[in-house]
Each structure stands twice: as structure tokens, then as C-alpha cells.
Amino acid sequence: MKIALIAHDQKKNEMVNFMIAYEKIFSQHTLYSTGTTGARIMENTSLHINRLASGPLGGDQQIGALVTTGDLDLIIFFRDPLTAQPHEPDVTALLRLCDVYGIPLATNVATAELLVKALELGFFSWREVVDKYKENN
């Protein structure tokens, strides 16, 4: 599975702790992240992250582009709902793209944990079938 990881500044520590807790599961997948979040995760785990630009510098848009090309299966985006974000239109566009393309999206730890447990149990196997179908057509 191809998974994107994003965290607003006030949520980066939470993301790092989440990735430490589920490092074994995430190590079996291809990971993408916005710049600073990816750097922080790699500093604290043995995970390899394909780092994109920082969110405010276009990273959210880069992840959106991966959604539109079918190159992502899941997004974990720890948003800070209490702080105004200068790139809020990019965030909103990314959330909309997840809905348009049917990409599972967690915006908080509780939902992210449910998705990771589902991933561990193989409940996202249907995405692999869809990906193979796309490759053959």
C-alpha cells in the first residue's frame, strides 16, 4: 500500500509518536510525506519516507496529485483544527480529492488507529485488486 503522512506543526509530535507505535506495520508499505513531517519521522524511526515539499510550499498539492493519478491508497493527516493555516485552500482541496477518488483519510489519531488496524488485518486488499486492474488496462 502507498500511504501519505501529513501533520500540521502542532501535531507533528503526535504523528511521530503514532509512527513509532506502529512502525512494524508501516515498514511493510511505501510511505510519502510532506517535508518536515517526513524528516521528523525518519529521525525517530527506521522508516524510509519519500519526502515531498513542506505543506505550505506545495506538499499538500503534491500529495493531491498522487491521489489523482491513483498513486496513493491511504492518507493520515493530523490536522490542527484550532490554528488557522495559511495554506487552508490546499488542505481543503486535498480533503475533497480524497472524497472524489475514494481514498481513506484519517484526520486524527483515533481514526488513524482504526485504519492502521484495518491495514494490518488486510481489510484494504480491495485497493490492491483495483491497482492491479488499472495496471492491466
Tally Cβ neighbours within 10 Å of residue 43. Answer: 8
Is the pLDDT at 40 greater than 90? The verdict is yes
Residue 29 pLDDT? 96
Q: Where in the chain are the domains? A: 2-76+86-136
Highest mean pLDDT among 13-17, 77-81, 128-132: 13-17
| Residue 129: pLDDT band with limits 50, 70, 90 | low
Q: Which CATH number fits domain 2-76+86-136: 3.30.300.30, 3.30.420.10, 3.40.50.1820, 3.40.50.1380?
A: 3.40.50.1380
- The reply to whether 9 belongs to the active site is no
Single out the residue of 24, 39, 31 nearest to residue 4, CA to CA.
31
Residue 84 pLDDT? 76
Is the pLDDT at 9 greater than 80? The verdict is yes
The pTM of the whole model exceeds 0.85: yes
Instruction: Return the higher-pLDDT residue of 112 and 135.
Output: 112
| Mean local confidence (pLDDT), 102-125 | 93
Q: Which of 9, 60, 73, 80 is catalytic?
A: 60
